[in-house]
Amino acid sequence: MTVILILTTFLAFALIDYLLNRKKVVQIAPEHAPAVAAQGHAYIDGFLVPDNLRYHPGHTWVLSERARLARVGIDEFGAALAGKISSIELPRPGQWVRQGQKVVKIVRNGEVTELVSPIEGEIAAVNSEILRNPSVMRDDPYGTGWFFTVDVPDEENTFRNLIPRNMVRDWMATATERLYALQPQLAGAAAADGGRPVDDLLSALPHASWETVTREFFLT
């Protein structure tokens, strides 16, 4: 009799708990990419270059978030050059990517260009927001416009192959000089708003090949 009473009491409490909690919704924090809050930054020929990032010559950046995990995106120069794209393709989670491998495909008016991975490792997560709304790549390249995160097993060797911090300014200045040498008309377009680049650099040159110019700078 005592055993039956204990079991009945237990079942009653279990039922009460179920009724109280069945309508509760478990809230899972959405995937969130904190903006690249630069502790310091510089504008080089009008382009924002946060100094807490590492850069690849193909105009992609890396942010080391914690041991073995890094976030990847495009720098502002590359985003302005790409301009208003219509779609973007990213690698799949679990895919292994090599440093310098073509991993991001962007499309604009039927033309296709690609970007390379600045690091080597396994894709941990991709930015679903940029897949839904490719314009964030240009609107916020260092924040919501990130591409993917990577599990990097050999950080020391991977980061060693990126542009040394003390050479980033010269590298970016050289990139803008090369662009203006190819397309002198862009010098004015880049400084349309107090020295800041316009949203879509190559839109000022309707006869320029977007695919050719971007591939030259993206090293693809």
With contact defined as beta carbons under 8 Å apart, do 97 and 117 qualify?
yes
CATH class of 41-218: mainly beta
- Give the pLDDT band (50/70/90) at residue 208: confident
138 neighbors 80 (Cβ within 8 angstroms): yes
Please, what is the angle between helix 168-182 and helix 210-218, to 10°?
A: 160
Residue 18: count of CB within 10 angstroms of its CB: 9
61 beta partners = 55, 73
Measured at the alpha carbon of residue 107, what is the angle toward residues 33 and 188, in degrees to the nearest 5? 85
Neighbouring-strand partners of residue 96: 122
CB neighbourhood size of 124 (10 A): 16
Mean pLDDT across 16-39: 40
Out of 35-44, 94-103, 175-184, the most confident range is: 94-103
Give the DSSP H/E element, type plus range, for residue 136.
Answer: helix 136-139
Residue of 139, 136, 127, 121 whose CA lies nearest to 70: 121
In tens, the pLDDT along 187-200 reads: 655 554 446 777 88
Residue 107 CB: number of other CB atoms within 10 A? 15
Residue 115 pLDDT:
98
The contacts found for 127-132 with CB under 8 angstroms, 24 or more apart, are 127/33, 127/90, 128/31, 130/88, 130/90, 131/88, 131/90
pLDDT confidence tier of residue 14, bands split at 50, 70 and 90: very low
pLDDT digits (tens, 9 = 90+) for 108-142: 999 999 999 999 999 999 999 999 999 999 999 99
pTM (2 d.p.): 0.80
What is the C-alpha to C-alpha distance for residues 133 and 137, in angstroms, rounded to an integer? 8
Mean pLDDT computed over 129-157 = 96
**Cα–Cα distance measured from residue 72 to residue 125, given in angstroms and rounded to the nearest whole number:** 11
